[in-house]
Amino acid sequence: MGKSKSQFVSEITPMDEDFAQWYTDVIKKTDMVDYSSVKGFMVIKHYGYAVWENIQAHLNKRFKDTGHKNCYFPLLIPERLLQKEAEHVEGFAPEVAWVTHAGKEKLAERLCIRPTSETIICEMYAKWLKSYRDLPFLYNQWCNVVRWEKSTRPFLRTSEFLWQEGHTLHETYDEAQEETIKILNIYREMAEEFLAMPVLVGKKTEKERFAGAHSTYTMEALMHDGKALQAGTSHNLGQHFTKAFDIEFLDRDGELKNPYHTSWGVSTRLIGGIIMTHGDDRGLVFPPKVAPIEVVIVPIATQKEGVKEKAAELFERLKNTTRVELDDREHYSPGWKFNEWEMKGVPVRVEIGPKDIEKGQAVLFRRDTLEKTIVALEDLEKEVTRLLDDIQKNLLYKAKRARDEKTFYVQSFEELKDIMSTKQGFAKAMWCEDPECEERIKRELGVTIRCIPFEQEKLGDSCPFCGKEAKEMVYYAKAY
């Protein structure tokens, strides 16, 4: 109680001093997350979970509007199933958790906690699919997965996380490819329009693709510190799994065939992305559409007659159209509340005190620019809506500008090395498609090809790192 603004701010390490510490300070102080006693496993607190609920609601609608249905598949996968697709087991076996006992009994076969569900879902699809008439299969599940990580950070990389995983089957390669790209577009629109987080979209290199995929597509965002975040992936799995799992259907021509297969997912990692895209030295900054609370009303001088009542009236007026909270706690000062809600990134604050009531007005504070404006009470709903809309757009605009300022065209290894050791960010360059050239950059600089973007630019004729003929343009970055 009675904390001053400087005390609040002093509890958060400045971003440009130590970004990792800034991140930890912010998420711990804002009821976003906490560490559990199992290393690498996080507790998603109510304020963080509310963000996930908003993402879920948005994506669920998009998925359902495009014909997808939700299901639920078992948490545990028998070892023999995991092993059926060779690349897949190689990719995931080192990081799965094994259940070996139930009660006092040892299990006949070890079961792993799903790191992803291709294998157990394919086993079921093999039972369910009979004819081309059953296709496409368009299913999704929302669930938890476990991948044992050595080095973890809440939301960004944790041994357990929440996600959705879509798994679809199609008659032809083209239909599977169309689905893969359709979902990537849904993800991109969600990132940009809902999270105000601009993303590059494109294909992963062979080295970076999903274990068992024919090709992997990705969206990549740039965080405040210049590191990239892989924010969602969509895989065209070809027939890798459908052959390994004997999934067959009777086609129009009377022949038995293996269908084509996709899978795609986004996770609670997106929450980390929102924080590291929009946050500032005062704490969180939420885009309104995904904010747990869009508007907070803080009454001033509540001991004065009519203030509490007026604040409650404004709350009633706003609650039908916005996620609004009335902060009528009595043992905190308005100044303390201002600071707390700023730290928690609420997009708009409405201040209402005796003088405002006298003048028939309220003060609106916007978190993104820290500006205050005065509005007539009769225009409140309209002005709040307009302001939320403006904040949403401004955050996307700012994030795009920040990304563009940290996107560099590099023409030599030295340039890439220099940029990655100073400003970081995205480095765009031509690429020879040689995995060895890619590997050398990773080994020497800790920098990976984030994607081969759909939007290609012709930056030259040769690979700036090995001199061989260039095949396409790619984006390099250090990544989370």
Query: Contact residues for a second copy (CB under 8 A)?
Result: 34, 36-38, 41-46, 49-50, 52-53, 69-78, 81, 93-104, 111, 113, 120, 123-124, 127-128, 133, 139, 143-144, 146, 148, 160, 162, 331
Between 36 and 421, CB nearer to a second copy: 36
CB of 336 to a second copy, least distance (A): 13
Between 97 and 437, CB nearer to a second copy: 97
Q: Are 9 and 281 in contact (CB under 8 A)?
A: yes
CB of 45 to a second copy, least distance (A): 6
Radius of gyration from C-alpha coordinates of the chain: 25
Burial tier of 101 (Cβ tally within 10 Å: 0-12, 13-18, 19+): exposed
Q: In the β-sheet with 361-366, what is the strand arrangement from edge to edge? A: 324-326, 295-299, 348-352, 361-366, 372-376
CB of 413 to a second copy, least distance (A): 35
CA separation for the pair 438, 118 (Å, rounded): 28
CB of 282 to a second copy, least distance (A): 23
How far does Cα 2 stand from its chain's mean position?
A: 36
352 Cβ neighbours under 8 A, 6+ residues apart: 297, 298, 299, 300, 307, 310, 311, 314, 362, 363
Q: Can you tell me which residue has the tokens 């496993």?
A: 41
Q: Are 113 and 76 in contact (CB under 8 A)?
A: yes
Q: Are 449 and 476 in contact (CB under 8 A)?
A: yes
CB of 393 to a second copy, least distance (A): 29
Between 102 and 443, CB nearer to a second copy: 102
CA separation for the pair 325, 50 (Å, rounded): 14
Q: What are φ and ψ of residue 70, in 5° steps?
A: -90, 145
CB of 3 to a second copy, least distance (A): 15
CB of 461 to a second copy, least distance (A): 44
CA-wise closest residue to 465 among 412, 410, 389: 412
CA-wise closest residue to 5 among 230, 367, 341: 341
CB of 315 to a second copy, least distance (A): 15
Between 37 and 422, CB nearer to a second copy: 37
184: helix, strand or coil: helix
CA angle centred on 444, ends 442 and 447, rounded to 5°: 35
Between 42 and 395, CB nearer to a second copy: 42
Q: Are 82 and 89 in contact (CB under 8 A)?
A: yes
Between 77 and 219, CB nearer to a second copy: 77
CB of 101 to a second copy, least distance (A): 4
CA angle centred on 440, ends 436 and 446, rounded to 5°: 135
Q: Can you tell me which residue has the tokens 């630019």?
A: 457
Between 97 and 466, CB nearer to a second copy: 97
Between 119 and 236, CB nearer to a second copy: 119
Between 320 and 422, CB nearer to a second copy: 320
CB of 82 to a second copy, least distance (A): 12
Beta bridge partners of 365: 349, 372
Between 100 and 303, CB nearer to a second copy: 100
* Max CA distance (Å), the chain: 82
Between 41 and 409, CB nearer to a second copy: 41
Q: Can you tell me which residue has the tokens 């820290």?
A: 370
Q: Which helix (H) or strand (E) holds 403?
A: helix 380-405
CB of 120 to a second copy, least distance (A): 7
> What token pair was written down for 191?
């990132």
> What token pair was written down for 53?
């609920």
CB of 365 to a second copy, least distance (A): 25
Between 226 and 259, CB nearer to a second copy: 259
Q: Are 149 and 137 in contact (CB under 8 A)?
A: no
At position 213, the amino acid (one-letter code) is: A
